[in-house]
């Protein structure tokens, strides 16, 4: 992480298309583009400093499904000098290495972080790794958000405090895709509990939501590392250049 508040436009892949789910429900998917690489090119041209890509099919099955789309996105982003982080179904060293071989800068481990935490430690020793903490009512969900884990976000976050992960991607499933606003209280509490950079995800509806997230601080001045934004960008609540301009310089 660079220390600045980064904006991560989201590209969620389902059946090769760019979609957004509503509250993690695969039956409530809205398709925004049949060409994810073209969407990536748009975000890069608009000034994205990162792209956040999720293979939703793989998240549910554990099998790499949207490899061609991820490869195409990675090519476009690499040409533009924009790093890509990818999550969804990354549950083995082989799966992670395959993504790095495509040019992905950082992988996000969710289900694997809970079920095989040693994989996180192993990969983080040589690669850029983030842990995805997707929570429903405070409980971390796994396998494409369809199963509960019995673990809280704070418990999971503390588990990875000293293994060298780049970031925690914290998603409130109940808010994801709803445009209801982010979980400021939960993020503030988690920020106070761990020192790992936190990326907020879920619920962003307005430019004001993002500015508010950029201003969240704990007493020592540490703030959030960034935010993943999906539906609000796709539905025109604001433009990526505007949100970048509004948050630039807010976090030192």
C-beta separation of 38 from 214 below 8 A? no
Find the catalytic residue in 57, 134, 172, 183.
134
Show Cβ contacts of residue 83 under 8 Å, excluding neighbours closer than 6 positions: 49, 50, 51, 77, 105, 106
Give residues with Cβ within 8 angstroms of 233, minimum separation 6.
9, 10, 239, 240
Helix (H) or strand (E) segment spanning residue 143: none
Specify which residues 140 forms β-bridges with. 135
**DSSP class of residue 183?**
-
CA distances from 188 to 68, 100, 129, 161, 193 (A): 38, 32, 23, 17, 9
Measured N-to-C along each axis, helices 184-193 and 207-214 cross at an angle, to the nearest 10 degrees, of 20
The answer to whether 12 is a known catalytic residue is yes
CA–CA gap between residue 77 and residue 115 (Å, rounded): 31
Which stretches of 84-206 are DSSP H helices?
93-101, 111-115, 117-124, 153-159, 184-193
Q: 122 is written with which tokens? A: 């192993």
**Chain centre distance of CA 64:** 18
Residue entry with tokens 């509004």: 246
Specify whether 250 is catalytic: no
Catalytic positions: 12, 134
């Amino acid at each position: 992480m660079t220390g600045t508040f980064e904006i991560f436009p989201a590209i969620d892949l389902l059946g090769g298309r760019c979609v957004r789910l509503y509250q993690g429900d695969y039956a409530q998917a809205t398709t925004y583009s049949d060409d994810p690489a073209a969407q990536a090119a748009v975000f890069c041209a608009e000034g994205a400093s990162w792209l956040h890509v999720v293979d939703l099919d793989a998240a549910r099955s554990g099998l790499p499904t949207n490899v061609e789309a991820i490869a195409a996105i990675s090519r476009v982003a690499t040409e533009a000098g924009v790093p890509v982080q990818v999550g969804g179904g990354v549950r083995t060293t082989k799966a992670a290495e395959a993504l790095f071989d495509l040019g992905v800068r950082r992988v996000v481990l969710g289900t694997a972080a809970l079920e095989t935490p040693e994989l996180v430690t192993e990969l983080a020793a040589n690669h850029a790794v983030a842990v995805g903490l997707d929570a429903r009512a405070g409980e971390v969900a796994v396998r494409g958000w369809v199963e509960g884990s019995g673990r809280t976000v704070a418990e999971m976050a503390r588990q990875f405090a000293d293994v060298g992960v780049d970031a925690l991607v914290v998603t409130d499933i109940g808010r994801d895709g709803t445009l209801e606003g982010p979980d400021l209280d939960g993020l503030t509490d988690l920020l106070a509990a761990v020192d790992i950079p936190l990326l907020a995800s879920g619920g962003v509806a307005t430019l004001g939501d993002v500015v508010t997230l950029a201003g969240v601080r704990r007493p020592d001045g540490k703030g959030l590392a960034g935010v993943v934004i999906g539906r609000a960008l796709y539905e025109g609540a604001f433009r990526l250049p505007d949100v970048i301009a509004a948050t630039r310089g807010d976090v030192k």
